[in-house]
């Protein structure tokens, strides 16, 4: 049965929703939920509920030896399930960097529960891909590498103060989170609308690469409804342009 769009919201695959969203913020590598601290207040001020996730193994004293990519995915699936059971929602996943891969896998596991995914300088990875298996592993963990490992585009607007802050708060990543192959199985994940906030590459360049069949964008090209939004900065917009990132997220969920 069709559902009419209301003045205070819209529809999610035939279900009406109010303006308030359940925003689940998933951090990228080396970061915990506090990494969203300069973004979350603007989202909350707009009337949304914010859950900033700290993924398994991303606390200072955690045992990271046995934690897998699936553990990270399952942790967010559990949050989605708890919101669904409590009739909270609609649920929007916001994933930064490697957190975007987690968000995509959660949409694969719960395609009917996720209203939208917002990727912050990230995107959906295909089945069988790892997030980044080339990062240096030390004693079963991936510590934040030297800045020389990152390309110049990633480090735009990363001042000395921001770099020092990031390094001071960085938590080693469980190695298998970076190297495990992603397992996807439900094609309904492509029904979940997507907004990709691109920081390092201009939107027009990304569209051109998609048109040329670049394998990096193969999964995104299969999504039925997507938007690409420019936010020119480096790879960590939650630190370099938090206000602008919050505004882009709010525009996406409107």
Residue 89 is predicted with a pLDDT of 76
Residues 5-28 pLDDT 10s: 222 244 444 333 447 899 999 999
Q: Are strands 15-17 and 91-96 parallel, antiparallel or unpaired?
A: unpaired
Residue 93: pLDDT band (50, 70, 90) is very high
Q: How many CA within 13 A on the CB side of residue 217?
A: 18
* Spatial separation of the C-alpha atoms in residues 139 and 54, rounded to whole Å: 22
Residue 1 pLDDT exceeds 90? no
* Spatial separation of the C-alpha atoms in residues 33 and 113, rounded to whole Å: 22
Mark out the alpha helices in the chain (DSSP H runs): 40-45, 69-85, 98-109, 160-169, 175-179, 203-211, 218-221, 237-240, 242-253
Residue 144 is predicted with a pLDDT of 98
Least confident piece of the model among 53-57, 143-147, 171-175, 215-219 = 215-219
Residues 21-76 pLDDT 10s: 999 999 999 999 999 999 999 999 999 999 999 999 999 999 999 999 999 999 99
Q: Which residue has the higher pLDDT, 145 or 10?
A: 145
> Can you tell me the mean pLDDT for 101-124?
98
Residues above pLDDT 90, as percent of the chain = 88
Domains for the chain: give ranges and CATH numbers.
20-253 (3.40.50.1820)
Residues 122/99, Cβ–Cβ less than 8 Å: yes
Residues 53/26, Cβ–Cβ less than 8 Å: yes
Please name the residue that has the structure tokens 């998609």. Answer: 210
Please name the residue that has the structure tokens 């649920």. Answer: 91
* Spatial separation of the C-alpha atoms in residues 150 and 238, rounded to whole Å: 17
Residues 96/197, Cβ–Cβ less than 8 Å: no
Q: Answer left, alpha or beta for residue 57, where phi above 0 means left and psi between -120 and 50 means alpha.
A: left
Length of the chain: 254
- Paired tokens of 212: 């040329």
Residue 216 is predicted with a pLDDT of 87
* Spatial separation of the C-alpha atoms in residues 123 and 56, rounded to whole Å: 21
Residue 223 is predicted with a pLDDT of 97
Residue 11 is predicted with a pLDDT of 41
Residue 2 is predicted with a pLDDT of 25
* Peptide bond between residue 90 and the one before it cis (omega within 30 degrees of 0): yes
Residues 150-166 pLDDT 10s: 999 999 999 999 999 99
Least confident piece of the model among 3-12, 83-92, 224-233 = 3-12
CA-wise closest residue to 52 among 75, 69, 20: 75
Residue 88 is predicted with a pLDDT of 87
Least confident piece of the model among 14-23, 51-60, 218-227, 240-249 = 14-23
């Amino acid at each position: 049965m069709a559902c009419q769009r209301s003045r205070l919201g819209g529809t999610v695959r035939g279900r009406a929703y109010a303006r308030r969203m359940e925003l689940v913020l998933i951090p990228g590598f080396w970061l915990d939920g506090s990494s969203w601290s300069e973004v979350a207040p603007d989202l909350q001020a707009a009337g949304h509920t914010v859950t900033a996730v700290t993924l398994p193994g991303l606390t200072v004293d955690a045992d990271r030896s046995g934690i897998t990519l699936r553990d990270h995915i399952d942790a967010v699936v559990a949050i989605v399930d708890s919101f669904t059971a409590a009739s909270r929602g609609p649920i929007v996943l916001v994933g930064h960097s490697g957190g975007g891969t987690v968000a995509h896998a959660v949409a694969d596991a719960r395609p009917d529960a996720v209203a939208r995914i917002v990727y912050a300088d990230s995107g959906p990875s295909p089945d069988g891909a790892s997030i980044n298996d080339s990062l240096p592993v030390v004693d079963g963990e991936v510590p934040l590498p030297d800045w020389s490992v990152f390309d110049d585009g990633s480090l735009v607007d990363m001042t000395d103060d921001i770099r020092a802050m990031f390094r001071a708060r960085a938590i080693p990543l469980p190695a298998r989170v970076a190297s495990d192959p992603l397992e996807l199985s439900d094609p309904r994940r492509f029904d979940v609308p997507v907004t990709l906030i691109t920081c390092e590459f201009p939107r027009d360049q990304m569209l051109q690469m998609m048109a040329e069949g670049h394998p990096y964008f193969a999964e995104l090209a299969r999504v039925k409804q997507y938007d690409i939004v420019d936010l020119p900065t480096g790879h960590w917009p939650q630190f370099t342009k938090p206000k602008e990132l919050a505004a882009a997220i709010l525009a996406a969920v409107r």
